[in-house]
């Protein structure tokens, strides 16, 4: 079986991948995630998902026959892209902006085969309907979840669920970091067996 690498330092993505009967290592891709001028959100997520996989594929410690799983995520609202807030002040501003509104999250996935150079890329769309969030609710959430490394300042796998009225997606795992339904399909196409 090919070595499997998760191109991420995200604990949420690692927990999701742990759901599958796989042995894998984690390597952070360390790339520039800046949006290019005029780049649409969908193109940005696809580009960064592939770029993270390629960055890890090019690292000396990556086995030449590895199968790399990479991803990227952003929130898209009112024509603006929201990534990881980086600090609590930015996180608060994001949540104040999202309060009472429908926000689209784009969760990118790339499976890259170092042996063949073949890669598959997919983006899952999740619509998150936020509750009306007063300052007290936002401050409580930020204090307990500290989502500064989460796109759109939400940790759905934790207390982020308290911020939402409704979530619609074809993949219930996508908002937590990996579109798992498509991941299983991609891995099977690369010869990984789940039976």
The CA distance from 192 to 185, in Å, is 9
pLDDT score of 134: 97
pTM of the model: 0.94
Average pLDDT score over the chain: 95
* Percent of the chain residues past pLDDT 90, beyond the cut: 93
What is the rounded average pLDDT of the residues 69-80? 95
Q: Kindly report the number of other CB atoms within 10 A of residue 40's CB atom.
A: 12
- Residue 109, class by beta-carbon neighbours within 10 Å (0-12 exposed, 13-18 middle, 19+ buried)? buried
Which of the residues 72, 139, 145, 171 is marked catalytic? 72
Instruction: Give strand pairing partners of 125.
Output: 106
195 pLDDT more than 90: no
Q: Do the beta carbons of residue 10 and residue 149 sit within 8 Å?
A: yes
Q: Kindly report the number of other CB atoms within 10 A of residue 187's CB atom.
A: 20
* Fold that domain 4-189 belongs to in CATH: Maf protein (3.90.950)
18 given a catalytic annotation:
no
Q: What length is written for the chain?
A: 195
1 pLDDT more than 80: no
pLDDT score of 179: 97
Over residues 144-167, the pLDDT tens digits come to 999 999 999 999 888 999 999 999
45 pLDDT more than 80: yes
Over residues 97-138, the pLDDT tens digits come to 999 999 999 999 999 999 999 999 999 999 999 999 999 999
pLDDT score of 156: 84
73 pLDDT more than 90: yes
Q: Kindly report the number of other CB atoms within 10 A of residue 35's CB atom.
A: 15
């Amino acid at each position: 079986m090919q070595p499997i690498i998760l191109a991420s330092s995200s604990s949420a993505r690692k927990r999701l991948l742990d759901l599958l009967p796989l042995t894998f290592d984690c390597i952070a891709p360390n790339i520039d995630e800046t949006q290019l001028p005029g780049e649409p959100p969908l193109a940005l997520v696809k580009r960064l998902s592939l770029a993270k996989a390629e960055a890890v594929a090019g690292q000396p410690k990556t086995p030449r026959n590895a199968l790399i799983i990479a991803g990227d995520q952003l929130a898209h609202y009112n024509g603006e892209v929201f990534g990881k807030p980086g600090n609590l002040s930015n996180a608060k501003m994001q949540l104040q902006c999202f309060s009472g509104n429908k926000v689209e999250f784009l969760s990118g996935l790339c499976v890259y085969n170092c042996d063949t150079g073949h890669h598959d890329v997919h983006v899952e769309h999740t619509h998150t309907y936020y509750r009306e969030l007063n300052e007290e609710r936002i401050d409580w959430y930020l204090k307990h979840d500290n989502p500064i490394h989460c796109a759109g300042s939400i940790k759905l796998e934790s207390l982020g669920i308290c911020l939402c009225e409704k979530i619609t997606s074809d993949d219930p795992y996508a908002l937590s970091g990996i579109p798992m339904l498509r991941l299983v399909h991609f891995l099977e196409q690369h010869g990984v067996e789940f039976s």
